[in-house]
Amino acid sequence: MTNPLLHDNQLPVFSEIKAEFVEPALNQVLEQAKKTVETLLTNMTEPTWQSLVLPMEELDATIDKVWSPVSHLNSVMNSEELRVAYNACLPKLSQFGTELGQNEALYKAYKDLAEGDSYADLDLAQKKVIDNALRDFRLSGVELSKEDRDKYKQISQNLTALTAKFEENLLDATHDWKKHITDEALLAGLPESTKGMAAQFAQREKLEGWLFTLDFPSYMPVMSYADDRDFREEMYTAFATKASDQGPSAGKWDNTQVMADILSLRHELAQLIGFDNHAQRSLATKMAQSPEQVLDFLNDLATRSKPIAEKEFDQLKAFSQETAGMTELEAWDVTYFAEKLRQQRYSISQEELKPYFPEDKVVSGLFSVVNRLYGLDIKERTDIDVWHKDVRFFDIFDEQGELRGQFYLDLFARNHKRGGAWMDECLVRRQTEEGIQTPVAFLTCNFSEAVGDQPALFTHDEVTTLFHEFGHGLHHMLTKIHHAGVAGINGVAWDAVELPSQFMENWAWEREALDLISGHYETGEVLPQDLFDKMIAARNFQSAMVMVRQLEFSLFDFRLHLEFKPDQGDQVDKILAEVREKVAVVKPPLFNRFAHSFSHIFAGGYAAGYYSYKWAEVLSADAFSKFEEKGIFDRATGIEFLQAILEQGGSKEPMALFIEFRGRKPEIDALLRHTGIAA
């Protein structure tokens, strides 16, 4: 059988991709890429866009075409065989990437192009591609001595292996723990939908009764509704100690040493290329100008939020004392009593909203929202090869009928799929010899699946998550830039990349939009006005507590990478404790090992960059305030956002694009108003 990863198909043929094909395919494209670079440099008389940048872009695309589906499958259909193949490829990719970044002849060719006569004739996006490339060469250690370049290469390979190990430990620890229950009395307080899902899980494992897991759709309802305090404590303990030295699988998939090694190597790498620490190295590709600016921004938000968060927590403690005689509120009680207090104050729960958000209505309603904003027409296709029966595929057309993008939608939690929600690139928009390559996105979530005869019903939180990921998807798919390095999300400063995603979330709260995305699964009735009023009234319930929790993550991440000292042993617990002392209002138990599952910073792209969520929220809230002024479906404003932000990708600095849309620099007022902190 020929290798499906090397077929010239437009889209991956997922049903034919097996673990045994992965390494041979990657070996072949990397070998070919090395020869291409060699030939390119040997034959080049004068570097131009056509003779240098385009062939390098083509080379990247050939590797991505093999690696993108493999990397995606490793996240959504993980198996022992695939994992072995994936891990065997990581050092090869890392080595190739580092060698390319340290190729002095290639670096010189880009420098000559930037200083040559033809540079002046290039458009802004092309210049940005070249400027970014020169920056990345320097960040890859191209100007180091031979000895230091070798050291850089080794560190990079080790880091790649360690971040993959972190993610594997987390996946294994999450899916290893299960709670099998046969006594229905233990399920008191749980919604019928949660019990139905747990019964479905048990049946699949050929068990009587109910089965609970640490996947979010199973975990969160237990923490929110289960009356049995011991059950909540057991589940919280398992969740809060995943992949650590504590809890039910203590030491089995322990990330403690993995984290220490990652931090140490990041620090060493940053110092090797002339930065004091990894936080400074991280800011080289971000909007924020200095560590001080980031810390001032986060500390300012903390100063504004913490007094309100303390009041909110005091109210929660008083409520639990009053209603249940609780003298001490433990971590596994907080979500439970918060839900009870929310229901008492606003007579509303996530569970009550679920019947109004069936999968098909939410998805088609989301498409209606973007149709009204940008004139897009989204159509499902059923002739595309996918990796799981639940995965759907769609085409996006603009008002002129042009195909602008395509995406896979994988909504439900399942075994062998990593947790969380994300957008990833399958194909990037770029100019090829055949024409413009259509961008294709992977949109992945971990929502509650359908139970029994009912369709899948989403919580409003899940609806908001879907809007968030779709915002990332639109940023990737609607770009009009033809150069892969700055098309879509590529080349966008990391602390601005969350702007389009957080921006989209706003429509999940607007009456006009909710009329499009809600419809009771039995009657079709849109969300009733009284439920909508309660939902809006409850929107900022404990929002300061939510704010300080996000600030805790952001400050912990940034300080950890800024203050790291290689000779001081474990700094994770120390810095986390200091940050919690300063900003947290809920003090978790000593066995809590939150950092051990913080994959955003230890396995994702957010190291010393988790603050980006809050940073970009200032941008997104301010951008949305223009729609609040003009009308949330004002087409002219929608087209302005499309043209200024979504279509231009990373071709200009994010501040310039924001000013192009908003007419001024961003202001924090809208964020403070939206989160209720201004009040």
- Catalytic residue annotation: 469
Q: Cα 422–642–68 angle (5° rounding)?
A: 30
Give dist(CA 372, CA 631) in Å, integer: 12
* β-strand partners of 407: 394, 441
Beta strand spans in 231-307 (E): none
- Three-state secondary structure readout of 54-100: HHHHHHHHHHHHHHHHHHHHHHHCCCHHHHHHHHHHHHHHHHHHHHH
CA separation for the pair 92, 26 (Å, rounded): 9
How far is C-alpha 130 from the chain's CA centre?
27
Q: Which two tokens stand for residue 615?
A: 């940073």
Alpha carbon distances (Å) from 346 to 137, 323, 510, 536, 597: 55, 17, 18, 10, 33
What is the Cα gyration radius of the chain? Answer: 25
- Coil, helix or strand at residue 394: strand
Q: How many residues does the chain have?
A: 679
Question: Which residue's structure tokens are 């010239």?
Answer: 8
Task: Name the residue among 579, 596, 595 with its Cα closest to residue 587.
Answer: 579
Q: In what order do the strands lie in the sheet with 422-427?
A: 377-381, 392-397, 403-412, 440-447, 422-427
Distance of CA 185 to the CA centre of its chain: 38
**Residue 88 burial class via C-beta count within 10 angstroms: exposed 0-12, middle 13-18, buried 19 and up:** middle
Tokens found for residue 91: 């050092």
Q: Give me the helices (H) in 347-439, please.
A: 350-353, 359-374
What is d(CA 65, CA 431) in angstroms, rounded to the nearest whole number?
Answer: 15
Q: How far apart are CA 482 and CA 480, in angstroms?
A: 6
Rounded Cα distance, 83 and 65, in Å: 19
Give the number of other CB atoms < 10 A from CB of residue 11: 16
Helix axes of 543-563 and 572-583: crossing angle, nearest 10 degrees: 140
| Cα three-residue angle 176-179-185, rounded to 5 degrees | 175
Query: Which contacts (CB < 8 Å, 24+ apart) does range 331-334 have?
Result: 331/236, 331/240, 331/586, 331/588, 331/589, 331/592, 332/223, 332/229, 332/232, 332/233, 332/235, 332/236, 332/237, 333/229, 333/232, 334/586
Give yes or no for a contact between 616 and 492, defined as CB atoms under 8 angstroms apart: no
